[in-house]
Chains A and B, each alone.
Chain A
Amino acid sequence: AQSVAQPEDQVNVAEGNPLTVKCTYSVSGNPYLFWYVQYPNRGLQFLLKYITGDNLVKGSYGFEAEFNKSQTSFHLKKPSALVSDSALYFCAVRPLGGFKTIFGAGTRLFVKA
């Protein structure tokens, strides 16, 4: 079965420190991979995606993600966290040629000042 796992319900990090939000996936074939962020009572905002090419993808607001095919992972990273990064983050995957996007359960990020 195709799935996306975000193993951490919550990630806490101090402002200015690097952050990582983990994501692993299980799909057949090559995947399209996405990260979205959701602020309270808002829809999801697109952060970045991996389709093909360089394994390190840069996105909005200083975020980046690294695609690791052997580990089937697509972890979200940021070198220096801001308090305003506190939000709910969703990893998503769509199999190449597939129609539906599969979302992870979400990871809540808290950045303390």
Chain B
Amino acid sequence: GAVVSQHPSRVICKSGTSVKIECRSLDFQATTMFWYRQFPKQSLMLMATSNEGSKATYEQGVEKDKFLINHASLTLSTLTVTSAHPEDSSFYICSARDQGLAGDSDTQYFGPGTRLTVL
């Protein structure tokens, strides 16, 4: 099946530093990847949609200068939280759709998530 990996799984950083989270589709090409944020005991909040080779589309209320998204290849998207603050602490999850000809283009597959703690 389609596998999405995320790295790191857990990161603790000091306030003011930047953190990069990688999302990779391991066995399929992902033209589109999605970044979500999940607060405790809550549903997923879509932050942005990233398309390979073009700028990400951010949801309303999400600061694009704070959450930098790069989708440099068909298998890799990165989310960089710049100048992180304690309120950025959260669980970040990426997702990808396999839009190749032989793939299941209907289903989103999710990474295991990254727990970010900003001290």
A and B co-occur in one complex = yes
B106 touches A36 (CB 8 A): no
A104/B112 contact (C-beta < 8 A), A43-B6, A44-B93, A49-B107 known = no
B113 touches A90 (CB 8 A): no
A45 touches B110 (CB 8 A): yes
A51/B93 contact (C-beta < 8 A), A43-B111, A106-B43 known = no
B42 is an interface residue with CB less than 8 A from chain A: yes
Contacts of A100 on B, CB cut-off 8 Å?
Answer: 46, 49
- Scoring B106, B108, B109, B110 by chain A CB atoms within 10 A of each residue's CB, the highest score goes to B108
- Interface size of A by Cβ–Cβ distance < 8 Å? 21
Report B1-41 residues with CB < 8 Å from chain A CB.
Answer: 1, 4, 6, 34
B119 is an interface residue with CB less than 8 A from chain A: no
A103 touches B44 (CB 8 A): yes
Distance from A55 Cβ to chain B, minimum over Cβ atoms (Å): 17
B113 touches A46 (CB 8 A): no
A51/B42 contact (C-beta < 8 A), A41-B115, A42-B113 known = no
Hey, which bits of chain B sit against chain A, CB under 8 A?
1, 4, 6, 34, 42-44, 46, 49, 91, 93, 95, 106-113, 115
22 contacts between A and B (CB under 8 A): A32-B106, A34-B107, A34-B108, A41-B91, A42-B113, A43-B93, A43-B111, A43-B112, A44-B44, A44-B95, A44-B110, A45-B110, A46-B1, A46-B109, A46-B110, A90-B43, A92-B108, A99-B49, A100-B46, A100-B49, A101-B34, A104-B43
